[in-house]
Copies of this chain bind each other. A is one copy, B any other.
C-alpha cells in the first residue's frame, strides 16, 4: 500500500542498472549547497575552523587546486580527521598534481579506470580497496598480472586513487547512509539519535524488496523472510559491518527488517534463521556490498561541485560484479 509514501523524484529511479555513468552536477540540490559533506539534507551540523577554511576553497578556482587540496577540503568536514590509523590513503599516483577531473565510485575497477581516462579525469575517489584486500597491502600480490596491470595503467595515465571510507562513514551524519536513504526516499524517516533505525509506514516485505531493487538499481538480491510480512521498523546497514555489529543492531532495535550490504554466512544470516525458527518476525535483506553503498559516493558529486568549482566531477557506477543463475 504505502508505495506512494516515497518520493519518486530521485535520480536512482530512472537510471540504467549496470553501466550508468552520469555527471551529477545537475542534481546538486539546494539542500547540499552548504558544501558541508552530507550534513545539510538532515540538519545543519556544526563545523569547525578547518571546515570553514576548506570551504573557502570554493572562492577560488578548483582548477588551481591539487588533488591533496581536494582531499583536505573533504576531510575538513569530518570530525577527528585526518585519522592517524585509517585505510583512507593514496593507493596510486601523485596527490600533489593539479586536479583535472574527479570520479567518485565504489571500486577503482579496471572498467572505472577506463571511464576515468575517457573523461580526462586524474583523480578517483573510491570507497573500497583497489587491490583486493581491506588494507590494500600489495606485497602478497608480488608480480600478480592482475595487480600489475592495474598498477601500470594508473601510472601510465597519471591517475591518483584515494580511498574515502573511514572518513565518509565518520561524517555526521554518515554520508553513505544518507546517500542511500535519499536514493530510497527514506531520508525523511531518519533520526539522528538512532541513525540506523527507521520507522516507516508498514508495507509487505515483497514491496520493500521491489522498492530496494528499483531505487538502488539492483537486479537480484537475497533475503530471509515471508514476502507478506509487514515491515515498519527497518534497520539500514549498508556495506559489511560484520556479524557482531549487525547482530548488535538487531538486538538493540528488534527491527521487522534488517537490510545490509554483505554478511558472513556463519553470522548474521544464521542468527536470523534461528530467530525466525523460534517465532521472531525479523526479516533480512542482503543487497550486495557495492550496490548497497553506491549512492553514498554519488552523493559526493554535488558536494565536490560546490567545493571545487570548475572541475568536472562524475560519479561512475561500479555496479554489482555478479550474474545470477
Chain A interface (Cβ within 8 Å of chain B)? 107, 109-111, 114, 128-129, 132-134, 140-141, 144-146, 149-150, 209, 213, 220-225, 240, 243-244, 247-248, 251, 261-262, 264-275, 277-278, 280, 286, 288-290, 321-325
Centre residue among A144, A244, A321 by max chain B CB count within 10 A: A321
Contacts of A145 in B (CB 8 A): 278, 280
B273 adjacent to A129 (CB under 8 Å): no
Known interface pairs A107-B266, A322-B222, A322-B269; A275-B146 also in contact (CB < 8 Å)? yes
Contacts of A262 in B (CB 8 A): 264-265
Contacts of A267 in B (CB 8 A): 132-133
Contacts of A273 in B (CB 8 A): 109-111, 321
Known interface pairs A109-B270, A262-B264; A322-B134 also in contact (CB < 8 Å)? no
CB distance from A208 to the nearest CB of B (A): 10
CB distance from A246 to the nearest CB of B (A): 10
A144 adjacent to B265 (CB under 8 Å): no
Kindly state the separation between the CA atoms of A221 and B109 in the bound complex, as whole angstroms. 23
Partner of A132, one of B134, B149, B225, B268: B268
| A325 and chain B: residue at smallest CB distance | B209
Kindly state the separation between the CA atoms of A134 and B267 in the bound complex, as whole angstroms. 8
B278 adjacent to A265 (CB under 8 Å): no
Kindly state the separation between the CA atoms of A129 and B111 in the bound complex, as whole angstroms. 38
B243 adjacent to A265 (CB under 8 Å): no
| A319 and chain B: residue at smallest CB distance | B273
B149 adjacent to A325 (CB under 8 Å): no
Kindly state the separation between the CA atoms of A172 and B225 in the bound complex, as whole angstroms. 40
A132 adjacent to B271 (CB under 8 Å): yes
CB distance from A125 to the nearest CB of B (A): 16
| A153 and chain B: residue at smallest CB distance | B278
How many copies of the shown chain assemble into the complex?
2
CB distance from A159 to the nearest CB of B (A): 15
A278 adjacent to B110 (CB under 8 Å): yes
A247 adjacent to B132 (CB under 8 Å): yes
Kindly state the separation between the CA atoms of A99 and B288 in the bound complex, as whole angstroms. 43
B286 adjacent to A322 (CB under 8 Å): yes
Nearest first, the 9 A-B pairs at minimum CB distance are A110-B277, A265-B289, A222-B322, A132-B271, A269-B321, A146-B275, A273-B321, A110-B274, A149-B278
Centre residue among A251, A278, A322 by max chain B CB count within 10 A: A322
Partner of A133, one of B132, B244, B280: B244
Contacts of A225 in B (CB 8 A): 323
Partner of A109, one of B128, B149, B261, B277: B277
